[in-house]
Amino acid sequence: MKNRILTVENFLYLAAFVIAAGLRFVGLGRESLSDYEASLALQALALSRGDLATISPQPFYVLWTGFVFFLFESSNLLARLLPAFAGSIMTLGPYLYRKALGRNSALFLAFGLALSPALVGASRQADGLTFSLCFATLATGFFLNNSPAMAGIMAGLALLGGPTIWMLLFILGVVFLWGRLFSPRERIEGEPQAEEVVSLASSHHELPWRATMPWVLGSFLFAGTLFFNQLSGISAATSSLVSFFGGWSAPLKIGFAQFVIALVSGEALTFGLGLWALGRGWWYKNRLEMLLGRWFVVSLIFVLVYPSHRMIDAALVAIPLWCLASRQIERWFQRLPEERLPSFVLAAAILALYIFGWINIAGTPTTQELGGEIQLRWLSFAGAVIISLLMSVLVAWGWSPRVGGYGLRTGILGVLLIYLAFNAWSATGLGRQPAANPWRTAPYLQDSDLLAVTIEQFSSWKAMNRLAIDLTVVGVDSPGLKWLLRNHQAVQYVESIAADQNPSLVITPVRSSPLSGASYTGQDFNWKQSPAWSLMLPREWMKWLFFREAPFEREAIVLWVRSDLFPGVEPEPAENKPQ
């Protein structure tokens, strides 16, 4: 009899992959590249044109995105294509951990990685973090399944991901030392495969290094030089280590409160279940969950204290947290109660109570004068919590504690799943307030599309070609703007305009103005937009948690059009132009 390829388990993994791909690819090219993303994409574009001299410490992204640009025309979608694809493939990685985590836990982990807001946000940006995490996850999984060739290939690719791989190796090194020096040696009863995994993690002598290292070196050289055509990729990979150490002396960019609130709110489900599993694992001396707990604790501390951390570095914390949460979910639902109907009815009632309480809190006004109404709303939510607990107690008394506990857990889990889905969608940046997405590596470029359309319309009007008009950018250092204008044929970037120049279009910072308003007509565009995290009050944080609404800080630029380009206007003297 032939083995069935599409089993129920395989179908569920495929479903997790489809969900992950949907969240990572939907509207991927709609938003213009941020300054950070554009700085990498411009290197890839220069590589595709044969103009690149040096590569930043993210060689895999620059080299292989440049190869994609060489095959196809550059675009926002293609600039983010490979990170999104790597983030989608990563959800299949738990399939390799079925023996270590358990079949059901690995399946829950796959869906968790697909929905994790931190991973969704990281996968939708032009950055090398997703490559490091994806390839490292696959490399470790192939190690555990005695496939040294594939493990070596994935490990070699992971080393090209950028500074993130050194962050991950640093974290795992601390976890290894912690386990060797301070961890007890109790065995896991009834989990021999997990015991084998913990033993491998505690001893480097049992790993097949000799069979793996040639594949590591081969994939590193092949992918890191783009078929041996760009040797500078090797130096870029080594410079990523220098960049990692240099990050320890960099100034802090993200506030502690901003990082913690975004991480805990975005991963509320995993924090609750993960911490529960962590506490249980330490209480019962479960070595696998203690290992995952050490990984989570070290990752969290590292990301918080590392000065150069970014919001998407929270993905380093999300992975071990989801591993713990998946173990707890399997444990909770491994044995269903015999009386399932009252459990499901209780769960539905609790879910409805919490949803109405959630809606009530979400409608809390932000004005200071309505303090009494705010207190009533919070009291009503507390009442919903108390009623849900009383209902669970009554069901436990009337049927059994298992029925009451199962219904309570299922109801709370349902609420947290809905909030997780909301946060996962918000991480795509496709909501009403894309600038309020906390997982951005750089400010949102608000009017980039409007600016591009305006320039192309004037170019079509004057030069009969939407990309041919002469344009000068004065004093604006923005990689995002350079990416937006990458295909224009007559663009100059200068600090000031020479006396003998009279360009058709000029872009300046908003603080600059022409010597005379007669020669040029200007229109400002909102350029950079980012939440004012440090200025937000508790009520504003509540609005952000529920609706992703926040006060913003904005930076504008001005597009100046020479007045004679308008119908019926005679040319003005050349000296009346923007500075």
* DSSP result, 127-140: SSHHHHHHHHHHHH
Taking residue 202's Cβ as centre, other Cβ atoms within 10 Å add up to 15
Cα radius of gyration (the chain): 27
Report residue 500 as tokens. Answer: 């003998």
> Of all residues in the chain, what percent carry a pLDDT higher than 70?
88
pLDDT value for 13: 96
Q: Coil, helix or strand for 560?
A: strand
Question: What angle (nearest 5°) sits at the alpha carbon of residue 263, between those of residues 278 and 128?
Answer: 105
Q: What is the mean pLDDT of the chain?
A: 86
Give strand pairing partners of 494: 474
Distances (CA, A) of 158 to 60, 66, 133, 161, 541: 9, 18, 7, 5, 37
Of the spans 109-118, 471-480, 528-537, which averages the highest pLDDT? 109-118
Q: Is the pLDDT of residue 14 over 50?
A: yes
Task: Give the mean model confidence (pLDDT) for residues 560-578.
Answer: 65
Give strand pairing partners of 492: 472
Report residue 409 as tokens. Answer: 């857990």
pLDDT in tens, 410-466: 888 999 999 999 999 999 998 888 999 999 999 999 999 999 999 998 888 887 888
Give residue 373's pLDDT band: very low, low, confident or very high (50, 70, 90).
low
Give residue 197's pLDDT band: very low, low, confident or very high (50, 70, 90).
low
The set of residues, in sequence order, having a beta carbon less than 8 Å from that of 159 and lying 6+ positions away, is 165, 216, 220, 224, 237
CA distance 61 to 129: 10
pLDDT value for 189: 47
pLDDT value for 123: 97
pLDDT value for 183: 59
Residue that wins the pLDDT comparison between 462 and 204? 462
pLDDT value for 1: 44
Task: Give the mean model confidence (pLDDT) for residues 101-123.
Answer: 95
Task: Give the mean model confidence (pLDDT) for residues 14-18.
Answer: 97
pLDDT value for 134: 97
| First and final C-alpha spacing in the chain | 80
Report residue 480 as tokens. Answer: 């995002």
pLDDT value for 286: 86
- 293 contacts 324 by C-beta, under 8 angstroms: yes
Q: Coil, helix or strand for 314?
A: helix
- 106 contacts 98 by C-beta, under 8 angstroms: yes
Residue that wins the pLDDT comparison between 284 and 111? 111
CA distance 329 to 454: 53
pLDDT value for 203: 53
Q: Coil, helix or strand for 54?
A: coil
- 125 contacts 81 by C-beta, under 8 angstroms: no
From 98-112, 128-142, 185-199, 200-214, the region with the lowest mean pLDDT: 185-199
Q: Which residue has the tokens 């020669």?
A: 519
Give residue 574's pLDDT band: very low, low, confident or very high (50, 70, 90).
very low
- 505 contacts 560 by C-beta, under 8 angstroms: yes
pLDDT value for 516: 47
Q: Which residue has the tokens 């305006």?
A: 454
pLDDT in tens, 301-339: 999 999 999 999 999 999 999 999 999 999 887 776 667
pLDDT value for 146: 87
Q: Is the pLDDT of residue 190 over 50?
A: no
pLDDT value for 97: 94
pLDDT in tens, 359-371: 777 666 555 555 5
The counts of H helices and E strands in the chain are: 23, 6
CA distance 50 to 87: 29
Q: Is the pLDDT of residue 222 over 90?
A: yes
Q: Is the pLDDT of residue 122 over 80?
A: yes
Give residue 42's pLDDT band: very low, low, confident or very high (50, 70, 90).
very high
> Of all residues in the chain, what percent carry a pLDDT higher than 90?
51
CA distance 164 to 86: 15
Rounded to the nearest 10 degrees, what angle do helices 129-144 and 192-202 cross at? 120
